[in-house]
Structures are given as structure tokens and as C-alpha cells.
């Protein structure tokens, strides 16, 4: 695997996610410059505000999932991952149920939790419920993500990337998130179980509780 290729694909993913809301902000600003009608100006301001919130949420998630601020061995509250994903999905067609103790866990595991939750969100593009659970099982920690919706869509390439069965060149921009999540799983010496049906998808990762 080439680090530069991984970095390039991740940056492409981030840019792809941000171009929409940032472009909408620009459009809103242009409307304000050229429009004297009060109602249209109000619409432009609403567009700018909603797009700014969307861009901020996407950046917050990317910093959580892909960034490396601070020491990776630091212990943080898993609720930080919940908050990042909740901001990302907003009040749309997908709701998030989160069940985890507030006790801090390693940052690397919180990053993995955030990435797995996003994989659950992406599995139900038509809407539904993503349930994320973090629980202890002896000296192991289980991260369990289930996504339920009208029609679950998990490409075989996504499962291959999550399991580490595909090359980076096969992932490309489209599946780089799944590939990166798979890297996090293996870096944490975790084991992934995945079950996908027409109406549900479940991803369960078993990790050492201590790190």
C-alpha cells in the first residue's frame, strides 16, 4: 500500500463531501449581492446558514474519523463519535440510537466507532435507523452497529474493503471510507463479523478492551 495514494483518496473523499455545501454557500452569497427582494434575500440567508451547518458537520466528522489531532493513545468519551455522526445526519431520514457507557476509551477505538457508524448510515440511503452499541465482554470490547431501513445497500466491494480483502487500488474514491475503516480494524487487532440482508446490515467488531 502506498501512503500517498491513501492520502490522495481520503482527501478526494473529503473534498467530494464538502464541495456541495461550500458551493451552496457561494451561490447564496451571489444571490445576496444581486437580489433586492426581501423574500429572496431571506431565502439566500437560509441557504447560507443550512449549508454552513452542513459543511461544519462534515468537517467535524472528517476530523474525528480521518484526522490525527492529539495523541492516539489518549482516552476520550465515545459520545464524541455519536455527536459527530448526529451532526452529520442532521434531522433527515436517518435516526441514530446510541448505547454506550460514558467511560473513556482509546481515541483510536472512538475513531473506529465513528467510521463504523458512518458505514451504517451509508447502508440505508433511503432512511431508517442506525443503532450503535459499545459494550464490554470480559476482557474484550464489542462495537456493534446495525442499520435497518426500507432497502439496505452494501456493495460487495464495501464488505471486501472492511475485511481487508481488497487492494487500495480496488477501493478508489468510492470505497475509500470502507477501506480506511478496515485499516482501523486491523490496526486495533480487531475481528469483524458482517451480516447483510435486504432490510438490515450488522457490523460487529471485537477488540481488546484495554486498547
pLDDT digits (tens, 9 = 90+) for 70-91: 666 789 999 999 999 999 998 8
> Which pLDDT tens digit goes with each residue over 133-162?
999 988 899 999 999 987 899 999 999 999
* Mean pLDDT value of segment 34-49: 86
* Per-residue pLDDT reduced to its tens digit, 173-187: 889 999 999 999 999
The pLDDT assigned to 71 comes to: 67
Q: How far apart are CA 1 and CA 182, in angstroms?
A: 13
Instruction: Report the predicted TM-score, pTM, of the whole model to 2 decimal places.
Output: 0.90
CA separation for the pair 173, 122 (Å, rounded): 15
For the segment 16-28, what is each residue's pLDDT rounded down to a tens digit? 999 999 999 999 9
> What is the set of domains in the chain, with CATH numbers?
3-66 (1.10.287.130), 75-208 (3.30.565.10)
From the number of C-beta atoms within 10 Å of its C-beta (0-12, 13-18, 19+), residue 99 rates as exposed
Amino acid at each position: 500500500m502506498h501512503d500517498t495514494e491513501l492520502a490522495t483518496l481520503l482527501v478526494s473523499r473529503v473534498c467530494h463531501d464538502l464541495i456541495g455545501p461550500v458551493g451552496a454557500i457561494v451561490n447564496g452569497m451571489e444571490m445576496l449581492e444581486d437580489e433586492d427582494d426581501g423574500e429572496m434575500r431571506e431565502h439566500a440567508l437560509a441557504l447560507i446558514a443550512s449549508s454552513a451547518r452542513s459543511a461544519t458537520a462534515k468537517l467535524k466528522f472528517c476530523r474525528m474519523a480521518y484526522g490525527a489531532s492529539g495523541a492516539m493513545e489518549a482516552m476520550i468519551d465515545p459520545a464524541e463519535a455519536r455527536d459527530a455522526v448526529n451532526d452529520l445526519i442532521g434531522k433527515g431520514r436517518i435516526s441514530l440510537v446510541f448505547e454506550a457507557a460514558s467511560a473513556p476509551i482509546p481515541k483510536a477505538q472512538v475513531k473506529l466507532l465513528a467510521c463504523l457508524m458512518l458505514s451504517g448510515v451509508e447502508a440505508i440511503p433511503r432512511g431508517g435507523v442506525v443503532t450503535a452499541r459499545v459494550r464490554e465482554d470480559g476482557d474484550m470490547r464489542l462495537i456493534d452497529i446495525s442499520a435497518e431501513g426500507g432497502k439496505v445497500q452494501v456493495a460487495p466491494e464495501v464488505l471486501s474493503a472492511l475485511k481487508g480483502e481488497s487492494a487500495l487500488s480496488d477501493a478508489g474514491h468510492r470505497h475509500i471510507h470502507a477501506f480506511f475503516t478496515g485499516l482501523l480494524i486491523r490496526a486495533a487487532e480487531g475481528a469483524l463479523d458482517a451480516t447483510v440482508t435486504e432490510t438490515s446490515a450488522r457490523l460487529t467488531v471485537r477488540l481488546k478492551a484495554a486498547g
